Amino acid sequence: MQRFAYPVTLTADEVDGGFVVTCRDLPEAITQGDTLEDAIEAAEGALEAAIEMRIEDGLDIPLPSQARKGEHLACLPVGSAMKAAVYLAMKEQGLSKSDLARRMDLDEKEARRILDPKHSTKVPTLERALHALGKRVEVVVV
């Protein structure tokens, strides 16, 4: 099971006020916010950008660590989490975008778009891609 809720640390910014946000699982995801709510929202945007960059560059995406005392959870948006899950499943199975296209009976260009972070892929298409990779989506609301 993959969850895309990453623990983040909020550190009070003594100079400028607000909070500096860091994520030990994705060290490139650094941001800030004036309030706790702003900081968590900014963290989610920074995490999304970090995951998108890793997909574009063909890098590993670490699964979230267990949250430690004092950490907060920042979640990826649903579409980004599903794209990350497709990407991880393909890497795990050693599949190319062409392989995904064949499994989904799609043109390769359409399969490339599924993993393109800049392309807004609909949730049913991502769910279909995950199903073609032997995965299923389970939604948890907290």
From the list 92, 90, 94, 134, the residue with the least C-alpha distance to 112 is 90
Q: Give counts: helices (H), strands (E), the chain.
A: 5, 4
The answer to whether the beta carbons of residues 9 and 92 sit under 8 Å apart is: no
> What residues does each domain of the chain span?
5-75, 78-132
Give the tens place of pLDDT for each residue, 1-40: 788 999 999 999 888 889 999 999 999 999 999 999 999 9
pLDDT of 109 strictly over 80:
yes
Residue 126: its H or E element: helix 123-132
Helix (H, G, I), strand (E, B) or coil at 50: helix
pLDDT tens-digit series, residues 58-85:
999 999 999 999 999 999 999 999 999 9
Please name the residue that has the structure tokens 């392309």.
119
The CATH classification of domain 5-75, taken from the options 3.40.50.720, 3.30.9.10, 3.30.160.250, 3.50.50.60: 3.30.160.250
User: C-alpha angle 134/136/142, rounded to 5°?
Assistant: 155
Sheet bearing 72-75, strands edge to edge: 31-33, 19-22, 5-12, 72-75
Say what the pTM is: 0.90
